[in-house]
Each structure stands twice: as structure tokens, then as C-alpha cells.
Structure 1
Amino acid sequence: MTAPPDVDLYARGTATLLATWEEYARGAPGAAVHRFEGVAAAVFPHGPERGVYNNAVLGRDLLPAERTAALDAMEEAYATAGITRFAAWVHEDDRALRADLERRGYALDETTRAMGMSLDDLRVPRPQLDLALPDWTEYLRVIEVPTDLLAGADHAAFHVVVARLDAGNAAAAMAYHHGEDCGIYNVGTRAHARRRGLGSAVTALLLHDARDRGRRTASLQATPMAEHLYARIGFRDLGRILEFVPA
């Protein structure tokens, strides 16, 4: 298969991310992903999801009037839900949109790296891991988030891997499949097991499984610390995602 161009990989990754948030929202009281022209806003009014998933993905290369309408719609969606803390996600290349957010008083809070790949470019063999049962609560414990996170979601919709080391659960990751794409999320390793390659291994295992299930591409958002690990697996750099928050 010819590798998709970067713009296509970015679009696929964004579509998978939004589909994942919609799956989360189905099991969270009052939650929804609102899609407007130029923006999709994930609204989670109650905890613990409220502190994690209130994010909006803004479109790229919007015209000035479209940018204004998208930002107005985003702000109204969160204001209606009583949410004052949320993040507006912008691709680093979109200087005009960044300037519009700054004029409204938003400040840059965090950055991640959008990455994507054709699964034909997977560079590592299927890892041989000591796997635990893919228990949702244990998965959350390993990645060190509240164990009641997404308690009402359909956990069968996600592909979870939990790897063991020295008779204890040490690393975990999750995938969500949307169309031909596999989104990789929440890769985590317990402190005592870090720098042993487990994060890369659980990611690679999910990618091999996705390819076996007929997926053709994969996507994720990488922290600065993990970018080189994913690049070694075969992911390509698609640009930084800048997360702006209201002042």
C-alpha cells in the first residue's frame, strides 16, 4: 500500500480521536461531542471526566469569519455546560488561529506531537510479552488515573493491553479503532519498570493486532519524552498540537 500523505494521516488521526471521545461520552452523564463548522468540542460536565476530556479540536486553515464563528460556538458550548476550564487544540502551523485565541485572552498550556503511520511501515516485530487479563480497572491503575474514570463506558469497545514484569502488572495501553485507523491512547508504565522498553512493546503489540484486524493506519499524540520511541516504531511527525486554555 502507498503510504498516505501527512495531511491525510493527520485527518484520520483527528477523526479517530473525536470518535474515541464520542465513545467516552456515551457512558458519561450529560457528556457529548458537539460538532460545529470548524470545531468539535468534547463537553464533559461531571467528574472525573470533567478534569480530563474537556477539549476542543479546531479546524485548520479557516477563513477569518469561520474562525470567529468556530471560537464563538466553542465558548458557548462550554459556557452552557458551566465549564470554565477547557483546552482549545490548534495545529502549530495555524498562526492566524493562534493569534485569534491570544487576542481572546487564551494562553498556551501544553503541547503534544501529532504522529501517524501506515501500518505497512511498522518497523518492529510482534513483541513477546507476559500479558495479564485486560481488566479495565487494572488498566487504569497501571496508567495511574482515577479508577472510576469512564466507569459507565462500554469497555468492550476498546482494545486494552496490560503487560507484566517480575510477577506484577507494569505497563498498559489502549487502542480504539475507527474506520481504517487505530488510535493509540494512554500508554503508561509504572515507575519501577520504566526504561525497559515496555511502553514501546505494548504500543507495538496493539499495532500488530490492529493490522491483523484490517486497519491500515495508526495515530497518536506523543509527549516530548516519547516522540523518539514512537518514531523508532514507524510513526511520522505530523506537527505539534498546541493546547490553549482560557485565562
Structure 2
Amino acid sequence: MQQTTLAERVQSSLVEECAFLACCSMHGRVLALPGVMVAINPAMPDRSLFNGVTYESAGALQEQYDAIAEAYEAAGVRAWSVRVRLGDAVTPSFLESGGHVRDHDTVAMAALMGDLRLPSVRDMEWEETDDLRIIGAINDAAFGFPSAVFEAAFDRWPNSRWRGYIARVDNLPVSSLLTCDSPDGDCRMSGVATLPQCQGRGLATGLMAAALRAAMSRGMTTTSVQADPSGTHGYARLGYRELGRMPVWERRRSAVE
């Protein structure tokens, strides 16, 4: 499979992920505009992670920008972000001129299932789970949020393509992740997290291996993830390869505006 095809699957799976982060909460929804997908989560009005925009072309985003901003305004969302496509050199300057700030970068990574190097998980206690709150609580602790963010947002499964997995130590859930089976055959990895006191023990790597084997049994042919730049080595060890950086540009207004 050519790298351009992998990049296309990364983009389509990112759309799925943004939709999940909006629709995981009651009243969350997706607004489809020509060439643009707007994920709106009114339950998280100050968290741009849960209010993300993906687009098919720079031109489509520019044409629909005012409608996007109006939709977030009407929903009471004060912070939202645009996930810039791989190789798009035009959109960042457009967003900056509109008041967006470059919040962070993610690294697009992907692999053919057949190219993965998956470790054995025979000695690890893991399971599939439908308890989103457990996954949310582990993510909150892993990323150091002082109060519930993911746990507060995660209160429903948007569709049956998403699955949750947890690993246990001494019967306590300590590591978690989410996967999504995209219609084009990509297994999207998301929400990979381990409690701080259990990090460095290979739990997330083992859990990913278990989830990826399950995805292969369902017929998935590729896998993708948006990795933090500091965490790419863990995915690379499994066989993922870097396709490029995808900046996230945030627009935020204060609660008093």
C-alpha cells in the first residue's frame, strides 16, 4: 500500500475520532458542511479537544469558516480547534489571521497490519470493556488533569465501531485505550493511557498488541494514530511509521466575552 493511501486513511480515521470526542457526551453532535466536518460538544465548552474541525481541502475550510464559527457560538462553545491536514501549508496562516493559536502538534503514524511487530500478552490481564468512565478516569490521571475531564465527557458510545480495552494489575484497571473500525479498513487507536504509577512497564504496548490482534481478526488491514511527539517511539517499536506532523490550531474566547 502506498504512503498516500495510508495518509488518506489517517485523515478518514481522524474524522471518526473528532466525531467520537463530540458525540461521546449527551447533546454532542456532528455538523456536516460541504467539505467540512464540525464536531460540537456543548458539555465541554472550554475544551477544544472535544470540539474539533476536520476538512477535505483548504478552500472548503475557508468557504465554510464563518458557518463553523457561528455553529460553535450558537452551541455556547468557547474553545474549538482545527486539525490541519498533512501537507497543508496554506491553512495555518489563514487560521492565524482569524485569531487561532497553534496549540500543539500531533504526529500522524500508521502501518499495515502485516508490518506490525506485536509482543506476546499471555502474562497480561486485559479485557474489552464498555465502561467509558473507567477509560476516562485513567486518561484524566495519566494526563494530570486536576478534575474530571475525560471521565465527565465520556457518558455514551456514539456507535458500535468503537471499542474500549483495559489492562489490570492486581485486578485494578491501570491502562486503557479506544479503537475504531473505519469503513475503509483502518483501526484507529485513541485514548492510549496508563496511570502514572504504572507507566514504563509495557502495559500500554501490550494492550495495543491485544487490541490490534482483535482488529485483524475483524478484517482491519491498517492502523493509525495521532501520537504526541514525545511518544512516537512506543508506536514505532510496534511497526508504526511517521507520516508527518498535523498541527492543531485553537480558537478560544473567555467566558465573559
User: Could you say whether these structures have the same fold, taking a TM-score greater than 0.5 normalized by the shorter chain as the test?
Assistant: yes
The worse-fitting range, judged by mean Cα deviation, of 226-235 and 74-83 is 74-83
1:103 aligns with 2:97: yes
Return the match for 2:234 from 229, 237, 247.
229
> 1:62-88 CA distances to partner (integer Å, 9 max, x unpaired)?
34xx44203233223212322221011
**Aligned Cα RMSD in Å?**
2.5
Which residue is 1:76 aligned to?
70
- Residue 125 of structure 2 aligns to a residue in which SS? coil
Work out the percentage of aligned pairs sharing the same amino acid.
Answer: 26
Alignment: residue pair count: 241
Residues 40-59 of structure 1: pairs in structure 2 closer than 5 A:
40-47=37-44, 52-59=49-56
Question: By how many angstroms is 1:24 displaced?
Answer: 5.7
Hey, what's the Cα distance between the residues in 2 that align with 1:190 and 1:162? 11
Aligned-partner residue type, residue 110 of structure 2: G
Instruction: Check conservation: 2:18, 2:53, Cα contact below 8 A.
Output: no
Return the match for 2:129 from 130, 134, 143.
134
1:177 aligns with 2:172: no
Hey, what's the Cα distance between the residues in 1 that align with 2:101 and 2:47? 20
Structure 1 unaligned spans of 5+: none
Structure 2 unaligned spans of 5+: 141-148, 253-257
Aligned-partner residue type, residue 215 of structure 2: A
Which residue is 1:238 aligned to?
243
Hey, what's the Cα distance between the residues in 1 that align with 2:163 and 2:169? 20
> Measured at CA, do residues 158 and 236 of structure 1 come closer, stay the same or move farther in structure 2, by a change above 3 Å?
same
Residues 18-167 of structure 1: pairs in structure 2 closer than 5 A:
18-23=15-20, 25=22, 28-47=25-44, 52-60=49-57, 62-63=58-59, 66-91=60-85, 93-128=87-122, 129-131=124-126, 134=129, 136=131, 137-144=133-140, 145-153=149-157, 157-167=161-171
Instruction: Check conservation: 2:111, 2:224, Cα contact below 8 A.
Output: yes
> 1:146-170 CA distances to partner (integer Å, 9 max, x unpaired)?
4343313358653222112244322
Question: By how many angstroms is 1:43 displaced?
Answer: 0.8
Question: By how many angstroms is 1:184 displaced?
Answer: 0.7
